[in-house]
Amino acid sequence: MRLAVPLELDPATLDGWRPGAPVVDLAGETMGTTWHVRLAAPPAFNRTALLSAIEGRLEAILAQMSHWRADSLLGRFNRAGGGTWITLPPDFRTVLEAGLVVAERSGGAFDPAIGALVDAWGFGPEPAMTMPSPAELEQAHAVSGSARLAYDREASRLRQSGGVRLDFSGIAKGFAVDALGAVLLRHGCRHALVEIGGELLGLGLRPDGDPWWVDLETPDQGISPLRVALHQMAVATSGDYVRGRHTIDPRTGAPVEHALSVSVLHASAMWADAWATALGVLQGAEMEALASREALAVRTLTRVDGTLHEWISPALQAMIDELDEPPTG
């Protein structure tokens, strides 16, 4: 068993920690998947109020960013005529700006404006009954890419150039995880594990004093397990072993075939989500160079010449110790 522990521990983690505090589980559905919160209940904990706040926050995010809802802000932008400017609320703006940053830093391996390609392959609201034709892919590619967006940051508005479709599926879940973490903190819950569709955020400590331990998804038994202490940290995983080859390379317009699992640790689940998507598109030396340059803590499992290859970035390797007996939990 390999353990990954952050090199620096935040003393503020102990704020509000109570040994033996009751553990409460909350769960529901969102974004076509499930959400789950496990928390150490603070004094005067109000389960009903927190559950209502969580559900309200998730609904607000879906109302802005859902690719599946025609009436979402994202859906309205995608249907808007060329030349239309759309004013962006803070959540939408935060996700868009992060997506544009990762698009630039990754050389286009991540792009929030490839909704037309996602739809052409049947990964959007309407499943495809057949493979898209070369002509259909060429047409979708022609209207895709953040270079076709005009973003007025000062006025917080975005211009539809005509036919561009946004798709936040490679970043919105991570944003939602961070948002739920903020909801918990506002309700006095400083010690919790948040999860949406496999993306996780750990806050504070468990009541037994341990961090929130999670195992990185390792779909091959030949790879040694890697357990991570989510100490004020998030982890996001991209890949094809659960949902199939659904990640699109924005540069070619084709699904990625080499990435089995790409996990990124980061203080923010949103950034971890976007970087995991981008790194899953890149291969070999190009992927390793980007992860190293950005000082990202990354574990990848990729197919190389018919075999499974594990790579661990320097930032993650510095956190890892070997352990004969894994911690409980």
The per-residue pLDDT for 220 is 65
List residues forming the annotated binding site for Mg(2+).
170, 273, 277
Q: CB neighbours (10 Å) of residue 131?
A: 11
Please indicate, yes or no, if residue 323 is contained in any of the structural domains.
no
pLDDT of residue 225: 86
Amino acid residing at 86: I
The per-residue pLDDT for 238 is 87
Please give the pLDDT value at position 315.
Answer: 96
pLDDT averaged over every residue in the chain: 91
Q: CB neighbours of 94 closer than 8 A, spacing ≥ 6?
A: 175, 270
- The strand ranges marked E within the chain are 2-4, 23-30, 33-40, 84-87, 150-152, 157-160, 192-196, 199-203, 213-215, 226-229, 233-238, 259-266, 297-304, 307-312, 320-322
Binding positions are: 170, 273, 277
Question: Higher pLDDT residue, 107 or 321?
Answer: 107
pLDDT digits (tens, 9 = 90+) for 119-128: 988 887 777 6
Q: Is 131 part of any domain?
A: yes
Q: Provide the residue type at 72 as one letter.
A: S
Among 17-26, 208-217, 234-243, the minimum mean pLDDT is found in 234-243
Token output for 73:
């802000």
* pLDDT confidence band for 305 (50 / 70 / 90): confident
pLDDT for res 255:
85
Identity of the residue numbered 127: P
Show the domain range for 115. 82-160
| pLDDT over threshold 90, residue 32 | no
**The two structure tokens encoding residue 152:** 């007025």
Name the more confident of 131 and 174.
174
In a domain, 262, yes or no: no
In this model, does residue 323 exceed pLDDT 60? Answer: no
Question: Does the structure show a pLDDT above 80 at 83?
Answer: yes
For residue 207, give both structure tokens.
């009541």
- In which band, very low, low, confident or very high, does the pLDDT at 64 lie, cut at 50, 70 and 90? very high
Determine, yes or no, domain membership for 98. Answer: yes
Q: Does residue 154 contact residue 146 with C-beta atoms inside 8 Å?
A: no
Predicted pLDDT at 241:
59
In this predicted structure, the answer to whether residue 194 has a pLDDT above a threshold of 80 is: yes
Is the pLDDT confidence value at 84 over 90?
Answer: yes
Q: Is residue 156 part of a domain?
A: yes
Specify the CATH number for the domain of residue 148.
1.10.3980.10
State residue 256's pLDDT score: 78
- With respect to residue 135, please indicate whether it lies within any of the assigned structural domains: yes
Domain contains 121: yes
| Domain-embedded: residue 230 | no
Number of domains the chain contains:
1
Lowest mean pLDDT among 8-12, 254-258, 288-292, 321-325: 321-325
206-225 mean pLDDT = 85
Q: In whole angstroms, how far apart are CA 163 and each of 145, 219, 286?
A: 11, 38, 31
**Is 6's pLDDT higher than 60?**
yes
Range with the lowest mean pLDDT among 61-65, 187-191, 220-224, 287-291? Answer: 220-224
Q: Please tell me the chain's helix, strand, coil percentages from 3-state DSSP, rounded to the nearest 5.
A: 30, 25, 45
Residue 21 clears pLDDT 70, i.e. is over it: yes
The pTM (predicted TM-score) of the whole model is 0.93
